[in-house]
Amino acid sequence: MKFSESPLLSLRLSVGRARLVLILLLAAFAAMLVRALMLQGLDDERLRLRGEARKSGLERIAAHRGRIVDRHGTLLAASTPARAIGAYPEEARLTPAQLRELAASLAMPVPEVSRRLAEDSRFVLLKRQVAPKVADELLALKLPGLKSDVEYRRYYPAAEVAAHVVGFTDVDDRGQEGVELSFEKDLSGQPGSTRVLRDGRRRIVEHIERLRSPRDGEDVQLALDGKLQYLAYTHLRQAVEDNRARAGAVVVLDVDTGEILALANLPSYNPNDRQGLSGEQLRNRALTDTFEPGSTLKPMTIALALETGRVQPDTPIQTAPGRLTIGNATISDAHPHGLLSVAEVIQKSSNVGAAKIAEKLSPEEMWSMFVALGFGRPPGLGFPGEAGGRVRPFARWRPIEQATMSYGHGIAVSLTQLAHAYLVFARDGDLLPLSLLRRDAGSATGRQVFSPATARAVRAMLEMAVLPGGTAPKAQIPGFRVAGKTGTAHKLENGVYARRYVSSFVGFAPVSRPRLIVAVMIDEPSAGKHYGGDVAAPVFARIMEDSLRARGVAPDAAVQPPVQVVTTRPSGGRL
């Protein structure tokens, strides 16, 4: 049977239903016509603007991050071009061979790349901080759906040598540690913006106009001397290894300006490769960690006694029998000395002598002196996490506490604070503010803490400490007169002094015209020696000697072999 002869074709709608269908069709066409007229006539401008808004938008223009350089202009941190590789999953239909090629170029597992390309998203980021050469080679493969954006990666030429000073940035080039964080506002600059035209997949097809140009970040010049920083780090690393120590730190200051010329810590890390970083590596111990400084504080106590006229350098102090009982506690010397002059109390590092001198002072006087030297508050460098240390209010001091504070126990300072305080002895009693940034001599004004006469008197005592009969003959440097003081302190564990030590030495040279201060701290040496004169003083000598020669400082003494005096010290002594 032919289709035209089908019985279904013979059926007819009723006239009423046919008219209803026709009316509905005509009404639908009329509504469509009215809507078209409204869209193309009345709402034309509004729709045009909405269309343009969907196609155009603002794109951020990143500002180039400023460089960090040392005092000589040597590069310490710079941003280098890098790429971010992403893909549009709907377009990235890759063959197994292409997928393997993409994963190999990005150094990523194939399953990870495959998983990201399978995400229900318009755009996925595959990997950031890709080297430009690798990105260009990848784009040359012309894989479908692949996209590359320009970004920056921070590079640190000094690596672990200056890591704790310079710090590092995150993947978005924002400062996270060190100078990178402290000077984030200066280094980061101000981003710009541009209006762009996008296609239906939100991809940029045209840059229409630049609305605001980016303002690149400013360079930051540090006071740091790259040569001295390398010397400090290298000698510190050797000392930590030789003494099998837990950690160590070194600070080098310019006596004339208060600049920090070197600041090294161990353990350290490479900011160019931060995988597997631990808190131990990140800690800037010279600024953030505090410890009981031990005998390195004795010169401050004696300086105060000299300044207030309680003693003179030759005033006799009886230290026999090498013990002093105050209340229920007993202070001991490493070995008994008998009658000592005030100068010899420093030279021999007598705890009993320092405590007896402190008895002549009031708690308020000692507290005021500690505060004037910068203890109890951060150094004010603007460095993240810099510690203020601990100086208890004098009104709560007991006699035994005042006695122990006279030789550096019961008080906590950072190594940077300790090095800073020694400026008053290297100079004529005034204390310059410290600076991480380069400054010219004479541009900073110091506060007078002690008189020039007191500073010179203590300076002479500190020189005696490194001569024969002193506690630090290993701090001597051929051709240079050196002054300084050892420190050895037990570490507190759960409120009890344990048989773990912090060994330290702070000194300056040349004595005839001090130029540099070097402070050394070795944490928990475990190779058989723990006294500051044995552990920290030799590190000081090596760093100071190399630093003076690197800066072209003329010798101020005849070149003679250093004299070392070997003394037998009973266990438990603190020098």
**Identical fold, 59-220 and 226-272+282-550:** no
Q: What is the pLDDT of residue 280?
A: 85
Cβ atoms within 10 Å, residue 287: 28
Span of 27-41, 143-157, 304-318, 328-342 with lowest mean pLDDT = 27-41
Q: Residue 315's pLDDT band (boundaries 50, 70, 90)?
A: very high
- The mean pLDDT value for 543-565 works out to 83
Answer whether residue 468 shows pLDDT above 90: yes
User: What average pLDDT does the structure give for the chain?
Assistant: 88
Which residues are the active-site residues?
295
Answer whether residue 43 shows pLDDT above 60: no
Q: Exposed, middle or buried, 432 (CB in 10 Å: 0-12/13-18/19+)?
A: buried
Pick from 359, 358, 321, 314: which is nearest to 337 by CA? 321
Q: What is the pLDDT of residue 449?
A: 97
Q: Residue 163's pLDDT band (boundaries 50, 70, 90)?
A: very high
Tokens at residue 97, please?
A: 């061979």
Q: What is the 3-state secondary structure (H, E, C) of 229-276?
A: HHHHHHHHHHHHHHCCCCEEEEEEEECCCCEEEEEEEECCCCCCCCCC
Pick from 270, 269, 234: which is nearest to 250 by CA? 234
Answer whether residue 54 shows pLDDT above 70: no
Answer whether residue 203 shows pLDDT above 50: yes
On the question of a cis peptide bond just before residue 510, with omega within 30 degrees of 0, the verdict is yes
Q: What is the pLDDT of residue 572?
A: 39
Q: What is the pLDDT of residue 202?
A: 54
Q: What is the 3-state secondary structure (H, E, C) of 265-290?
A: EECCCCCCCCCCCCHHHHCCHHHHCC
Answer whether residue 568 shows pLDDT above 80: no
Q: Residue 473's pLDDT band (boundaries 50, 70, 90)?
A: very high
Residues 412, 392: Cα–Cα separation, whole Å: 10
pLDDT greater at residue 162 or residue 562: 162
- The mean pLDDT value for 337-352 works out to 96
Q: What is the pLDDT of residue 349?
A: 95
- The mean pLDDT value for 487-494 works out to 84
Q: What is the pLDDT of residue 64?
A: 85
Q: Residue 125's pLDDT band (boundaries 50, 70, 90)?
A: confident
Residues 269, 281: Cα–Cα separation, whole Å: 6
Residues whose CB falls within 8 Å of the CB of residue 99, separated by 6 or more in sequence, listed in order: 110, 113, 114, 117
Q: Residue 548's pLDDT band (boundaries 50, 70, 90)?
A: very high
The string of pLDDT tens digits covering residues 30-40 is 888 877 777 66
| pTM of this structure | 0.83
- The mean pLDDT value for 422-426 works out to 98
Answer whether residue 55 shows pLDDT above 80: no
Residues whose CB falls within 8 Å of the CB of residue 394, separated by 6 or more in sequence, listed in order: 363, 364, 366, 367
Q: What is the pLDDT of residue 542?
A: 98
pLDDT greater at residue 497 or residue 475: 475
Q: Quick check: 89 and 118 in contact, CB under 8 A?
A: yes
Q: Is 59-220 a CATH 3.90.1310.10 domain?
A: yes
Tokens at residue 434, please?
A: 């410290």
Answer whether residue 570 shows pLDDT above 60: no
Looking only at the bridges linking them, the beta strands covering 339-341 and 430-431 are unpaired
Residue type at 278 in one-letter notation: S
Q: What is the pLDDT of residue 412?
A: 95
Q: Mean pLDDT highest for which of 129-143, 144-158, 434-448, 529-543? A: 529-543
Answer whether residue 27 shows pLDDT above 60: yes
Written as one string, the DSSP assignment of 30-41 is HHHHHHHHIIII
Q: Mean pLDDT highest for which of 122-126, 202-206, 343-347? A: 343-347
Q: What is the pLDDT of residue 207?
A: 61
The string of pLDDT tens digits covering residues 355-400 is 999 999 999 999 999 999 999 999 999 888 899 999 999 999 999 9
Architecture of domain 226-272+282-550 in CATH?
A: 3-Layer(aba) Sandwich (3.40)
Task: Tell me what percent of the residues of the chain surpass a pLDDT of 70.
Answer: 88
Residues whose CB falls within 8 Å of the CB of residue 29, separated by 6 or more in sequence, listed in order: none
Residue identified by tokens 């006596």 is 255
Give 3-state DSSP helix, strand, coil % of the chain, rounded to 5. 35, 25, 40
Span of 147-161, 235-249, 295-309 with lowest mean pLDDT = 147-161
- Helical ranges in 385-472 per DSSP H: 399-405, 415-421, 423-426, 452-464
Answer whether residue 324 shows pLDDT above 80: yes
Residue 457 vs residues 195, 293, 298, 451, 452: alpha-carbon distances, Å: 70, 22, 14, 10, 9
Residue 410 vs residues 176, 392, 413, 495, 496: alpha-carbon distances, Å: 34, 9, 10, 11, 12
Looking only at the bridges linking them, the beta strands covering 496-509 and 483-493 are antiparallel
The string of pLDDT tens digits covering residues 228-284 is 999 999 999 999 999 999 999 999 999 999 999 999 999 999 999 888 788 889 999
Q: What is the pLDDT of residue 573?
A: 42
Q: Quick check: 417 and 260 in contact, CB under 8 A?
A: no
pLDDT greater at residue 199 or residue 23: 23
pLDDT greater at residue 561 or residue 298: 298
pLDDT greater at residue 542 or residue 141: 542
Q: Mean pLDDT highest for which of 127-131, 195-199, 400-404? A: 400-404
Phi, psi of 521 (to 5 degrees): -135, 125
Q: Mean pLDDT highest for which of 75-84, 250-259, 497-506? A: 250-259
Q: What is the pLDDT of residue 569?
A: 45
Domain boundaries, the chain: 59-220, 226-272+282-550
What value, to the nearest 5°, has the Cα angle with vertex 501 and ends 500 and 507? 175
